[in-house]
Amino acid sequence: MTIHIFKITEVEGLDFRRFERKFGDWPNLPSGLVRDKLGPLVWRIDGYNNAPEELYHIPEVRRFYRELHRRWPWWLYFLQVSKEGMAIPYLCLLEQIDAVRVDGIPGTGASFEPAQLLEILRNDFPRMNQLFERAGIPDIENDRRTDAIIKLFCGSTRMEDKCQ
């Protein structure tokens, strides 16, 4: 696993220089190296630890992830398929999202219109597929990753149940 921590100053200043030096060339690496980069990346943001709201509700964090997605739209291939790896970055891309608290359960959950997320994923899957193809990874592995991503956000991997 590769963890990259964004500093609050980078987030607030939309400063991607350190990130681009470290990861900017990943999509253009030779096929064998692209294959090795499948899914190990997790992003963290340092500096909002005491904020009362969830990261995906903080305007600066939302703006930062939206700009990062615009500059580096290969997330689906490189990010770890987990709540820690994908949830916050993708939730920040949504137009409307609510935090939901359940009595007796620590933390919050996210409530959103699945169609919003599906539209973003539909745009991102082709880039992921191109990297799978360039890396020479079999289609079955691509299908497994696709199903895992959809299950992460929608709770189901069956095609007809995807975020209905």
Statement: residue 155 has pLDDT above 80? no
Q: What local confidence, expressed as pLDDT, does residue 149 receive?
A: 93
Q: Average pLDDT for residues 144-156, to the nearest whole number?
A: 87
Q: Average pLDDT for residues 17-24, to the nearest whole number?
A: 96
User: How close are the terminal C-alpha atoms of the chain, in Å?
Assistant: 32
Coil vs helix vs strand at 112: coil
Domain count of the fold of the chain: 1
Q: Average pLDDT for residues 85-108, to the nearest whole number?
A: 78
Percent of the chain whose pLDDT exceeds 70 = 87
* Largest pairwise CA distance in the chain: 50
Domain extent at residue 23: 2-161
For the stretch 26-78, pLDDT in tens is 999 999 999 999 998 999 999 998 888 888 889 999 999 999 999 999 999 99
- pTM, two decimals, is 0.87
What is the band of 86 on the pLDDT scale with cuts at 50, 70, 90? very high
Residues 49 and 97: their CA atoms lie apart, in Å, by 20
**Residue 123 CB contacts under 8 Å (≥ 6 apart), including other chains:** 73
Written as one letter, the residue type at 45 is I
Q: What local confidence, expressed as pLDDT, does residue 159 receive?
A: 41
Residue where the block lists tokens 């620590």: 106
Residues 148 and 157: their CA atoms lie apart, in Å, by 7
Coil vs helix vs strand at 18: helix
Residue where the block lists tokens 């900017």: 24
Q: What local confidence, expressed as pLDDT, does residue 160 receive?
A: 41
Conformational region of residue 144, where left means phi above 0, alpha means psi within -120 to 50, and beta covers everything else: alpha
Cα 37 to Cα 15, 25, 33, 164: the distances in Å are: 23, 11, 6, 31
